[in-house]
Structures are given as structure tokens and as C-alpha cells.
Chains A and B, each alone.
Chain A
């Protein structure tokens, strides 16, 4: 799986001005809908929220990998979003997050994303690489930082 195919420049949202988790979910769903990956944006936002209610996808420190399976997802999709300091309140524990790696998973291939999730979770545990990613100001530079991610 090539990360560049999965993450076109339009799927990279740097310093998104969202104030809440709901706003963030709506923002990351827009490029997925525009790419035809998500057929019904509202249904996918609901699916992301429902998945979050089951078990949080927040990873320490300040990173979340929200993902959801849904019949409205036509193929595997990924959106990367960053938020300016101090971050967005992501779960009831009060954790603020600045980096979001949102995965859209087709309901008919419910485990198709597990390899990608594993690779992104490993990336998220590397503080120096995350810091470099958060400092990026141009989408084209994101791939340099993500070059080490092997899916």
C-alpha cells in the first residue's frame, strides 16, 4: 500500500481552525467526500462519533487516530489534519490533540485498515517525528516526515 496514493495533498489539512471534535470530524470528512471515498458525509461523521464512544482513539501525547467502518465508505481512505496550539479537546478526559490521522474503512473490508493503523500508531509513538510533522507548514513537506511509515 502506497501512502502517497492513500494521502493525496487534498487530504492534508494543516492548522485546521476547528474548535471541537465534531467540527474536526466534519472537516476531515470533506476531502473524503470530495474524493468519492465517502458517499454520505453526515453518516460518516456519525460513524466516527459512534466509534469514539466505544473506545477513544486518542493516543498519548496529543495524537488521535479516529477511524470508523461504514457502508458509506467505498474504499480505504486517510486524512491527516493538524491543529494549532493548544489543540482540540478530543475526549471527556480533557486530552487536547494536535495531530489527527483519520481512517475511513469500508464495512465490507472491516480489517483492511489494521496494517495502516499499526504503522500510524508506531509513527505516533515517535515524539521527534511527530514534532517535525507538527512543524510542517506545506502539505508537500508532510511526505518527507512520513517517509519512514511503512504500510
Chain B
């Protein structure tokens, strides 16, 4: 699960860089970001399609699809995640999703 979450975090970062380039470079953005395309494709290949579909949906609707967890708090919505839920996520009995905002979580080590 951690590997998927890290891949999603890296993917989100590269997609935001591409968004930034579209804003800064306008019509030239595709040329400027062409070097990012293989890395983005490789990251997308590492994630199961249903997870990827949900990730893309969050990105479209909310901009941010995955956030970090620290000290039991989702750093996207800043609400607490119960210790029980965190334990279940770490044991991989529960998806790494914030129970409050629904975004994917990258749990702290």
C-alpha cells in the first residue's frame, strides 16, 4: 500500500508541475514538459486501474488527491484520524483514505 501511495504522491507532484507549466508557458507547455511524460506514464503503470480512476476523479474535482498524515492528522483537511483507523490502515485491513475528506493518505513512517 505504501508503494502505491508514494507513487500517487509522486504522480500528483509531476501532474501539478505540468499544470504550472501550462500556466507559465501557454502553448509551449507541451514541448517544455515532454521530458516528464515517460516518468508520469511509468508511475501510472505502477498503480492499479481502480485506484488510478479514483485518484483522477479527486484531482479533477478537488485538485489534490493525496495528502500526508502526521501525528494522526490528515494534512489535507486537518481533522483527526482515529488511532483504530490508522492501525487498520497500517495492517492493510483498510484503504489508506482519510475518513473525513476521502483523499488518499500517505501515512507517516
The majority secondary structure among interface residues of chain B is helix
- Are the C-beta atoms of A114 and B20 separated by less than 8 Å? yes
B interface, how many residues as a size bin?
20 to 34
Give CA–CA (A56, B32) in the complex, Å.
8
- Report A's interface with B, CB cutoff 8 A: 51, 54-57, 59, 65, 67, 69, 107-111, 114, 117-118, 121
Mask, B30-74, CB within 8 Å of A = 1, is 001101100000000000000000000000000110011000000
- Report B's interface with A, CB cutoff 8 A: 12-14, 16-17, 19-21, 23-26, 32-33, 35-36, 63-64, 67-68, 75-76
- Are the C-beta atoms of A55 and B16 separated by less than 8 Å? no
**How close is A66's CB to chain B, nearest CB, in angstroms?**
10
5 A-B pairs with least C-beta separation = A111-B63, A108-B75, A55-B21, A117-B23, A118-B23
Give CA–CA (A109, B62) in the complex, Å.
11
